[in-house]
């Protein structure tokens, strides 16, 4: 049941990313290029996608905090860390720079694998290598 729920949720999330255009790096870069505001070529639609995601997700996060277990069983593991520390800042900077260079972040990159583009395959390979390196260094 948990695997089926994960498959349905992941498919719905990927479809939403595709419909909203978030798997298109050019569209994402059009949002991130704030200098384009001066030329009226800035694309604010990604902000609307993010706001829509927050509107839908927030009530479920609030509800999940009050639940002892997940709907399909297992623990609910929500972030509890509130401290802004060096690893968080460095990680955020690396994430933002990578997002700004590639126009992709992890979720949309996985959904974008549906497109036969070499740049997306390279991004996902680099992302997986970075995750493996982090896991290796985190253990030490």
Sorted by sequence, the CB contacts under 8 Å of residue 83 that are 6+ apart come out as none
Helices (H), 2-117: 2-20, 25-32, 45-65, 86-102, 106-112
Each residue's pLDDT tens digit in the chain (140 positions)? 889 988 999 999 999 999 988 899 999 998 888 888 888 888 888 899 889 999 999 999 899 888 888 888 888 887 888 899 998 999 999 999 989 999 998 999 999 998 889 999 999 999 999 999 989 988 87
For the entire predicted model, the pTM comes to 0.76
Among candidate residues 90, 94, 81, the one with its CA nearest the CA of residue 130: 94
Q: For 24, phi and psi rounded to 5 degrees?
A: -100, 105
């Amino acid at each position: 049941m948990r695997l089926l729920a994960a498959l349905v949720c992941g498919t719905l999330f990927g479809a939403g990313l595709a419909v909203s255009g978030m798997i298109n790096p050019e569209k994402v870069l059009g949002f991130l290029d704030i200098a384009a505001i001066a030329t009226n070529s800035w694309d604010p639609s990604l902000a609307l996608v993010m706001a829509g995601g927050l509107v839908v997700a927030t009530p479920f996060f609030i509800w999940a905090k009050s639940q002892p277990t997940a709907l399909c069983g297992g623990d609910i593991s929500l972030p509890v860390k509130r401290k802004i520390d060096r690893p968080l800042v460095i990680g955020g900077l690396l994430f933002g720079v990578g997002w700004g260079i590639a126009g992709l972040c992890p979720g949309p990159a996985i959904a974008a694998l549906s497109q036969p583009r070499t740049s997306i395959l390279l991004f996902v390979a680099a992302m997986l290598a970075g995750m493996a390196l982090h896991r290796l260094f985190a253990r030490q």
